[in-house]
Structure 1
Amino acid sequence: MIRLHHAHQTRSMRVIWMLEELGVEYDLVVHDFFDKSMRSEAFLAVSPAGRVPALEIDGQVMLESGAMLELLAERFPEAGLGRAADHAERAEWLDWLHYAETMGQHCANLTQSHIMLYEDWMRSPTVMKLEAKRLAKVIERIEAQLADGRDWLLAGGFSAVDCAVAYGLYVGQHFVRLDDLPKTRAYWQSFSARPSFAKALPPDGARLLYAQEFYEVPNG
């Protein structure tokens, strides 16, 4: 049994993409980021920090999305989304899987500054500007990786690392524009055209964490 606890526009999107790419059955439990459902005793028993994703799989609970992708790739090797320990791309695969969290951390910092700290006096325009520049810099690595004309991050083809990194682009584009990164822009368009992508999108009418298409750094 596989059960994924999810909230719209969070890192759990990565795991939905992966599960859909694998074509395996799973139960999706959707939580509202804006109410107190993730503070309920029932959910805290699954995820003590009250956060998503939480993946229940074969009687165990996982709380880190990168680890979830790695386990799922190993559990379903026939899908070809992982790279075995003796594979020539193994080190590169692992590096990109964890690099996704570098992107994710800058996205989280910007999300907190722009959205969670909702009063102007709470925010630091200097910090926001620095974080946007840092995020732009880490995204530039994708552009360099695609410079040889490959379609996906690894030369061997689509893999779990694309599901991991794509979330950074999904959120990151609310804070950084890809205008000067044509290969990254094309990569994103290719990913977002996959059927798995639509499965993770918030349904019409859902309350969104990112209510704006783009968040400008305020003057200050």
Structure 2
Amino acid sequence: MLWLLQEMGITPEIIRYEIGSKGMRAPELLDHSPAGRIPALEIDGITIFESAAILQYLCESRPEHGFGRAPGHADRVAYLEAMGFAETMASLIEQLNLNHLFLRPPAKPSPTVVKLNTLRLADTLRALDGMVAGDYLLPSGFSAADAMMGFNLFAAPYYVRMEQWPGLLAYWERLQARPGFQAAAEIEGPQAFYAKDFYEVPSDD
């Protein structure tokens, strides 16, 4: 969301919440995001939660930027598929985050579950590698669908070795080179979520 806002030249006021903290249940967050999840966006006198809905709204309310694909566009179906596929991939990353980062002894993660979700994440990355059309996901150029993949491509290398998809790595490098991405990364600040460079599937021992 922050990345697409920067692509549109919009710098929001940011209220930060720490995942796993009591602040995630604070009334002021629940008033904006009923399930206590982030992000949520206040804009144009309304509040929106869920990343895909936020990006869709931004594209539809500000079509002059050309980041959406309206009904009738040749890439409309591919755009909708990519937006939904990003959520599928993110759900697997969320499960791996939960198992690797938030569960602590004696509630140890299940090696079988972690292995399964890691393999499923690898399958989505393999599929994404085949979805890239030219420089971006769509033949018509950069879109909100690329922005939806941003967190996934940032997080996936902590769980899956990416060297097997050089084309996907090149795509990720192109995304990171965009001025809007770089501006958002500067606002976000250093990565402080992952404590390791790579998280192996736990053993059965």
TM-score normalised by L of structure 1:
0.85
- Report what 2:69 is aligned to: 83
- Report what 1:49 is aligned to: 35
Q: Does 1:198 align with 2:194?
A: no
- Report what 2:12 is aligned to: 26
Contact (CA 8 Å) 2:93, 2:121: kept in 1 or not? Answer: yes
After the TM superposition, which residues 121-160 of structure 1 pair with which residues of structure 2 at under 5 Å, given as runs? 121-146=107-132, 150-160=134-144
Cα shift at 1:24: 2.5
Q: Secondary structure at the match of 2:34?
A: coil
Contact (CA 8 Å) 2:32, 2:48: kept in 1 or not? Answer: no
Unaligned runs of 5+ in 2: none
Cα shift at 1:36: 2.6
70, 86, 92: which one aligns with 1:100: 86
- Report what 1:12 is aligned to: none
140, 148, 164: which one aligns with 1:164: 148
2:55 and 2:31 map into 1 onto residues whose CA distance is 22
Contact (CA 8 Å) 2:41, 2:47: kept in 1 or not? Answer: yes
Contact (CA 8 Å) 1:38, 1:50: kept in 2 or not? Answer: yes
Unaligned runs of 5+ in 1: 1-14
- Report what 1:7 is aligned to: none
Cα shift at 1:167: 1.6
Show CA shifts across 1:166-209 (max 9, x none).
221111111011111010010011111222223444424x7x22
- Report what 1:62 is aligned to: 48
Contact (CA 8 Å) 2:32, 2:49: kept in 1 or not? Answer: no
* Root-mean-square deviation over aligned CA pairs: 1.7
Cα shift at 1:86: 1.3
1:167 and 1:145 map into 2 onto residues whose CA distance is 17
- Report what 1:112 is aligned to: 98
- Report what 2:194 is aligned to: 210
- Report what 2:159 is aligned to: 175
TM-score normalised by L of structure 2:
0.91
Q: Does 1:38 align with 2:24?
A: yes
Aligned CA distance change for structure 1 residues 120 and 180 (closer, same or farther; 3 Å):
farther
Contact (CA 8 Å) 1:16, 1:196: kept in 2 or not? Answer: no
Cα shift at 1:74: 0.9
Cα shift at 1:41: 2.2
Q: Structure 1 vs Structure 2: percent identity of aligned residues? A: 39
2:183 and 2:105 map into 1 onto residues whose CA distance is 34
- Could you tell me which amino acid in structure 2 is paired with residue 19 of structure 1? L
